[in-house]
Each structure stands twice: as structure tokens, then as C-alpha cells.
Amino acid sequence: MRIIDFNHPEFQGFSEGEDILIDTGVWLAFYNQYDAYHSTVKRLFDKHVLHNEKNLFLYINPTIVNEITHLASTPLKKYLDFSGEKNIFTNSDMKKPLLWY
């Protein structure tokens, strides 16, 4: 893996046969117009990523998955503690891992 300056005027795209590995955080920058990297990422995607036949591989940082799992379970626990609906879920329901397909 090598670091590439996508804003450099000499950047002409990706090499022949090169697959593209994209962190999900980069997708967030692409879709969020208020992100500091939005214009760079949008220019890169529009010019070199979205309109070619190269393979795109999504990379999800494991620490982000852990944080999402934590954030997904914590609000439910807080809601159940204060809503009076604690009997809807059992403790085993609360401990089940989240699965994404």
C-alpha cells in the first residue's frame, strides 16, 4: 500500500489492474457535504472511482465496528431502564451480537 496525494496535479488515476480499497469513513466524507474532505473525495470519486471497471473493496475499521456495536446497544439499555418496558427484551437479547450482512 502506498500513500497517494489525490489533490496533486499529476495524479491521473489508478494503475491498470489495480483494485481500490476504500475505508467506510471515506464514503462518509463523500456523502457528507459538510465533511472537511468532501470536495477532495467527491472529485476523486467522480473522476477516478465511480465510472470505471476496477474492483472496489470496502474496508471497515474494526474499532469503528466496536464503537457502532456499543452505540447500538447502549441507547436500548438506557431506554429500557427508564421507559417501563424492560420486560420486552431479556438479558440474553441484550447480549446477542449485532450481525451485518
Record the pTM. Answer: 0.50
pLDDT at residue 80 above 80?
no
pLDDT at residue 10 above 80?
yes
Per-residue pLDDT tens over the stretch 37-46: 889 889 888 8
Task: State the Cα–Cα distance between residues 81 and 75, nearest whole angstrom.
Answer: 10
Q: Quick count: other Cβ atoms within 10 Å of Cβ 68? A: 13
How does DSSP classify residue 16? T
13: left (phi over 0), alpha (psi -120 to 50) or beta: left
Give domain limits for the chain: 20-59, 62-95
